[in-house]
Structure formats: C-alpha cells, structure tokens
C-alpha cells in the first residue's frame, strides 16, 4: 500500500501548469468508440482513471498508443462484448460505455459503475433517456444490459428531471448515431459537456446547444477520426489556486480558463485573496488576512461541488466563522473529521459544514475518503506543522496528474512511499 508523506510548513513558490480535464477525458475516451477511424487526444492527464480506460479499450479489442500527454486511439477493432469486469466496477465514468456501445452496436452489457462514495448518485436519468430512444434495460448478476433488440436507436425528446452532467453527456453520445433528432431539455451546462460535444462534432456529429440547457443532436450514420485538444482541468486549477492562497509566496498557475472558474474566483475575492487574472493564467500573491465566507454549491455556472473540499483548507486560514452547504452530494463531508484530527475547528451540523478559522494545524495520520477530499488533505498537510501521512491515496491519483512532481517543483516536501 502506498501513502503520501508531507513535511509541512514550507511555502510554495513558482509556476505550475494545469493538466487536461479529468472529467472531460473520462467521457472523451469512451465516446471515441463511435468513430470509424483513429482519434488522437492531446492534453491527456497522467491519472489512474485514464490508465483504467485505456485497459478497457484494449480488452475490448481497440488499439491505444500513448506518447507523453497524447493518446492515439483506434477503435475499429472494438468488439461487441459484455464487460462486467473489475476495471469497470472501479470507475464511476464507466457508465459512458453505455452510451457509446449502445450507439455503435445497439446494445451494451457493462458492470455497474464504481468511483468515490459521495452518497446516492443514481443513473436513472441515463436509463430513462436510453429507454426513450428505444432501448430496454435488464440486470444480469453484477452487470446491466441495455439493448434495442435489433431495432435502430432513434431520436427522442428528453427532459432531464434534475440537472446531471453524466446523463447529459451519455445521452449526447448515444444520440450522435441514432436515427433522427434528439432534444435534451434541462441539460447540464458544464464546460466538459461542451468539450465532449466538440469532439463528437469534429468526428462528424451534428450537435448544437452544448453549454446551454437545451441540446439538439441530429443523428448521423458515420463518425470519422479526428484530433482533439482536451480542455484544462478547472478543478485542478481551483485546487492549486487554493493551495497557493493558503501557503504560497507567489505562485503562477498556467493553462487556466478563467470563464470556467468565475464562481470560485468570485468567492476567493470575497475572502480577500489577492491575485491577478490573466488571459490563460492566474498569479496568486502571498496573502494577508482573509475573511470567512459561506459557500453553497450549485450546478454550473455556480460554485462547483468538486471545489468544495479543495477550498476548505484555505477557509480555515480565514478570520471568523463560516459554513459550507453542498446541495449536490450529501455525503461530501468525510474530510471533516480528518481535518479536525489535524487541529481544525470544523464539524458537520444538520448536514452543513461549520468552520472557524485561525487554528494552528498539526500533521497527523489521515485517510482520503474520495478524490477531492484527498486533495484537501494534501493542502492541509502542506499548511500544517510537522509530518502528515495520507493513506487511501489511490483516490488522489485518480484525478490529479503528476501532483507529487508539481508540488515538489513549487517547494513542497512531499513524496509517495510504500507502506
């Protein structure tokens, strides 16, 4: 078992580049199954979720070549086969194979999705959309089978009962090769949805409205190969911005799209964080006193739930009392007792996180409960006096490309060791 060791109290200084978006690439790779030719993705992050997706594509018969941050994927050898195996079950984004296999073969048998435990995250909206397009759903042991029973997938008018990034993307992928027009109402608007739509359109799809709450897809018969640049990871960017504000002496974060982070940046400004926003970078100064704020997560363009945990260590440096309300994932509070173990004045009351800043943090053994909680504990370890040991680091490596190398280059004393 691996763990991260941090000797805290060392200031960060220098420049760090943000990698491609994890939440985009985990949908882009399954979507490539629809292509009749080779697709190259540039800006692919070096994360374990990508490794798992590559292995899945190869098991299915596809070919993948990797060169630095580029992937060349040839999906032409992908077979129509059931996939209820371990890699599927460890990966939440495995559900995107439902849409891509359904679009290519009219059927998909895929193991039930895994990922971080953040409370109920049902895939009912995905299934409702597939059924509206002519598919039937059944369960076989640990897998789900979705099939059109020999009939072509057809377009449909679909209203999402709740805003869902996964369901919006999955419906879009399946509809790309369906017969006729599909309209998605109350669609999610996240940048990652635009990224997937851009890839599909570059492959020959006809998708309009991505980034708005109504997306229209005109199905096509064939999709061809292309080359696509993955957008920067706004959650990784926000994580490093928060780290820089918490313990930096001047850090420049590059490959940042400010328009993807407006709600997050606005909250930092409310706290009094001093920074300079440039066209594709943000420079974070050494900070003075900060004010406590209340954060309430919301679907994009609101404050991202994925940035709720990474900003929490910075909140603990503020003056006064504040709270965090996560309206997206009710169980996204498991980082709180780990932070309290390090000396933070923080607790969960009535489903809300209540904190008071200004307490001295001390290194301690802590455990990551999910991806973003793990990133928050890394920041806590950087801020704390003494030694912090973080276990369950497989969560962190799922979503943060080269995090040890990037933080080391900024001056952190951090390493991975075998336990």
Residues acting as catalytic residues: 116
C-beta of residue 17 within 8 angstroms of C-beta of residue 204:
no
123 annotated to bind ligand: yes
**Separation between Cα atoms, residue 370 and residue 356, nearest integer Å:** 23
28 annotated to bind ligand: no
C-beta of residue 303 within 8 angstroms of C-beta of residue 328:
no
Residue 278 tokens read as 């440039």
352-356 and 321-325 strand pairing: antiparallel
122 annotated to bind ligand: yes
Residue 230 tokens read as 């993955």
306 annotated to bind ligand: yes
User: Can you tell me whether residue 109 is helix, strand or coil?
Assistant: strand
Radius of gyration of the chain (CA): 21
295-296 and 181-185 strand pairing: unpaired
User: Can you tell me whether residue 341 is helix, strand or coil?
Assistant: helix
**Separation between Cα atoms, residue 13 and residue 244, nearest integer Å:** 8
Calculate ∠ Cα 253-254-257, nearest 5°. 105
**Separation between Cα atoms, residue 398 and residue 378, nearest integer Å:** 14
Residue 73 tokens read as 């994927």
Ramachandran class of 25: left when φ > 0, alpha when ψ lies in -120 to 50, beta otherwise:
alpha
If we measure between CA atoms, which residue out of 99, 97, 60, 53 comes closest to residue 81?
60
C-beta of residue 52 within 8 angstroms of C-beta of residue 46:
no
328 annotated to bind ligand: yes
Diameter of the chain measured on Cα atoms: 65
392 annotated to bind ligand: no
92 annotated to bind ligand: yes
If we measure between CA atoms, which residue out of 410, 359, 416, 402 comes closest to residue 47?
402
If we measure between CA atoms, which residue out of 192, 200, 194, 196 comes closest to residue 225?
200
173 annotated to bind ligand: no
Q: Is the dihedral of CA 106, 93, 204, 217 positive or negative?
A: positive
**Separation between Cα atoms, residue 321 and residue 230, nearest integer Å:** 39
Indicate the annotated binding residues for phosphoenolpyruvate: 22-23
Indicate the annotated binding residues for UDP-N-acetyl-alpha-D-glucosamine: 92, 121-125, 306, 328
Indicate the annotated binding residues: 22-23, 92, 121-125, 306, 328
């Amino acid at each position: 078992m691996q763990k991260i060791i941090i000797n805290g109290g060392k200031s960060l200084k220098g420049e760090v580049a943000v990698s491609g978006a994890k939440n985009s690439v985990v949908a882009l790779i399954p979507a490539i199954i629809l292509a009749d030719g080779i697709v190259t993705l540039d800006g692919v992050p070096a994360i374990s979720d990508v490794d798992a997706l590559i292995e899945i594509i190869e098991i299915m018969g596809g070919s993948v070549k990797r060169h630095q941050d580029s992937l060349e994927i040839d999906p032409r050898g992908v077979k129509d086969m059931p996939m209820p195996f371990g890699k599927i079950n460890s990966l939440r984004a495995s559900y995107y194979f439902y849409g891509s296999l359904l679009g290519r073969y009219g059927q998909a048998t895929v193991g039930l999705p895994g990922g971080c435990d953040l409370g109920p995250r049902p895939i009912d909206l995905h299934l409702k959309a597939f059924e509206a397009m002519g598919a039937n759903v059944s369960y076989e042991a640990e897998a789900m089978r979705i099939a059109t029973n020999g009939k072509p997938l057809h377009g449909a008018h679909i209203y999402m009962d709740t805003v869902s990034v996964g369901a919006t993307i999955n419906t879009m992928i399946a509809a790309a090769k369906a017969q006729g027009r599909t309209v998605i109402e109350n669609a999610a608007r996240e940048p990652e949805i635009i990224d997937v739509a851009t890839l599909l359109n570059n492959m020959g799809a006809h998708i309009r409205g991505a980034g708005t709450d109504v997306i229209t897809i005109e199905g096509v018969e064939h999709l061809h190969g292309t080359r696509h640049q993955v957008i920067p990871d706004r959650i990784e960017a926000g994580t490093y911005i928060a780290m820089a504000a918490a313990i930096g002496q001047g850090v420049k974060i590059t490959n940042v799209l400010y328009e993807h982070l407006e709600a997050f940046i606005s909250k930092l400004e409310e706290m009094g964080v001093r920074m300079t926003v440039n066209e594709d970078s943000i420079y974070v100064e050494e900070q003075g006193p900060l004010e406590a704020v209340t954060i309430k997560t919301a679907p994009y363009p609101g404050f991202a739930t994925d940035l709720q945990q990474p900003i929490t260590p910075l909140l603990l440096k503020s003056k006064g009392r504040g709270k965090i309300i996560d309206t997206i994932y009710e169980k996204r509070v498991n980082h709180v007792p780990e932070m309290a173990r390090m000396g933070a004045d923080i607790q969960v009351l009535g489903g809300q996180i209540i904190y008071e800043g200004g307490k001295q943090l001390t290194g301690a053994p802590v455990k990551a409960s999910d991806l973003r909680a793990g990133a928050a504990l890394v920041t806590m370890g950087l801020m704390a006096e003494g030694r912090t040991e973080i276990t369950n680091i497989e969560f962190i490596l799922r979503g943060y490309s080269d995090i040890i190398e990037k933080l080391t280059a900024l001056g952190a004393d951090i390493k991975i060791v075998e336990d």
